[in-house]
Amino acid sequence: MKPRQQRMLAFGLAAVGIAIAAALTLTAFEENMMFFVDISDVKEGSYPANRIFRVGGLVVEGSVQRKAGELEIQFDLTDLKSELTVIYEGLLPDLFREGQGIIALGRINTSGQFVADEVLAKHDEKYMPPEVADSLAKYRQEDAPAIDSGTNDP
């Protein structure tokens, strides 16, 4: 085999070897590399005990409660399977609102609620102009079963 072909082979084998090593390392550290824990996992009890960790979920509609004049806020997060109550005292990101994806950093208290030190908003990869978003929202509302629609909004 010519020296150049030998180098190519060595190079190729090294590349494959490094890729396998990286894949094995990353799979082995899977659990440590999760940026946040799912709500369902927290409810089941599989979250790191005795240290702060992050949870991620969507803010449940109508769950945001704040006493007037106080900074403390309470809301529920869901991953569409389970719900978790979060208590937080501090500044909220601009994007915080019902239905928004949220990542909270903190720990579980004795009552099973999540006391957050930091609340971050997470947005998805979709971008659209406001008009498109409005017509999508209307489209979804029209499709939804009419449970309590007492208005004649078009």
Residues that bind another protein (CB under 8 A): 4, 7-8, 11, 14-15, 18-19, 22, 26, 30, 33-36, 38, 54, 56, 91-95, 103, 118-134
Q: Give the C-alpha separation, 59 to 84, whole Å.
A: 10
- When the beta carbons of 11 and 149 are compared against another protein, the nearer one is 11
8 Å CB contact between 40 and 57: no
**Cβ at position 71, least distance to another protein in Å:** 15
Tell me the closest approach of the beta carbon of residue 13 to another protein, in angstroms: 12
Smallest separation, CB 14 to another protein (Å):
7
Task: Decide whether 51 or 150 has the Cβ nearer to another protein.
Answer: 51
Nearest to another protein of 31, 153 (CB atom): 31
Nearest residue (CB) to another protein, 86 versus 103: 103
Closest distance between another protein and the C-beta of residue 64, in Å? 16
CA dihedral over 30, 31, 37, 42, signed as positive or negative: positive
What 8-state DSSP symbol labels residue 151? S
| Residue 33 per-residue DSSP state | G
Q: Residue 53 or 76: which CB sits closer to another protein?
A: 53
| Cα dihedral 53→36→125→102 (10° resolution) | -50
CB of 142 to another protein, least distance (A): 19
Distance (Å, whole) CA 17 – CA 33:
22
Helix ranges, the chain (H): 3-28, 39-44, 130-143
